[in-house]
A and B are shown apart, each in its own frame.
Chain A
Amino acid sequence: GAGVSQSPSNKVTEKGKDVELRCDPISGHTALYWYRQSLGQGLEFLIYFQGNSAPDKSGLPSDRFSAERTGGSVSTLTIQRTQQEDSAVYLCASSFLQGDNQPQHFGDGTRLSIL
């Protein structure tokens, strides 16, 4: 597609439920990034993928969070046993290559609300 696509755009769920967020990067982009943004706050790095591998998982807040990427394209971020503090906008970004000189292209995010 023309841009990074994320789904769903909004997700409301009850505490304790599992949720799965999807990111479809720009075609041809090998690097994919997940961030979390709480209301009015900056971007918190979660994880990035180079191809299908995730060299850096240091940003995942707890073992309830996991992510995978298959086929070097679509990625899913899964949050198990959701807690209210997980409420935030989850942003996905992709770049042509992994590296420190590549601009990142962001999707519109998934707004997650935990009741």
Chain B
Amino acid sequence: GQQVMQIPQYQHVQEGEDFTTYCNSSTTLSNIQWYKQRPGGHPVFLIQLVKSGEVKKQKRLTFQFGEAKKNSSLHITATQTTDVGTYFCAVNYGGSQGNLIFGKGTKLSVKP
């Protein structure tokens, strides 16, 4: 079945350092969503990207969608301890499918 590759699997940073996670697909995506799951919590929707080359910002978070709509990235500037958690991308290839396909996630830990 269709899969989406998310890297890295883990990332350990010092507070104040930047962080980036990448999501890659071998086929063109209809759109991509990003979710954050805090330790012990449930995934929470962050944002959706739809257009080729789209860039969206939420405070210290920058989300990008590739020109070919096959990859995306989430970049956090100057990480804080509150950024700790697992970041998932979730993709839909369009058509009649209603379900999202989630990446395996990138687990971010931040050392104060």
Contacts and interface: CB of A to CB of B under 8 A. Distances in A.
Interface residues of A, number: 26
A67 interface: no
Nearest to B104: A42
B contacts with A: majority SS:
loop
Interface stretch (B13-21, B37-45, B57-65, B74-82): B37-45
B95 to A, nearest CB: 8
Given A33-B99, A43-B88, A101-B48, 10 more contacts: A41-B104, A43-B102, A50-B98, A59-B99, A100-B31, A100-B94, A104-B45, A105-B45, A106-B43, A108-B42
Contacts of B96: 55
10 contacts: A33-B100, A42-B104, A43-B102, A45-B101, A48-B98, A59-B99, A98-B98, A100-B31, A100-B98, A101-B48
A35 B48 CA distance: 20
Nearest to A108: B42
Nearest to A99: B98
Nearest to B100: A104
B44 A106 contact: yes
Contacts of B102: 35, 42-43, 45
B30 interface: yes
A103 B50 CA distance: 12
B44 A101 contact: no
Contacts of B98: 31, 33, 48, 50, 55-56, 98-100
A45 B43 CA distance: 14
B29 to A, nearest CB: 9
A74 B44 CA distance: 21
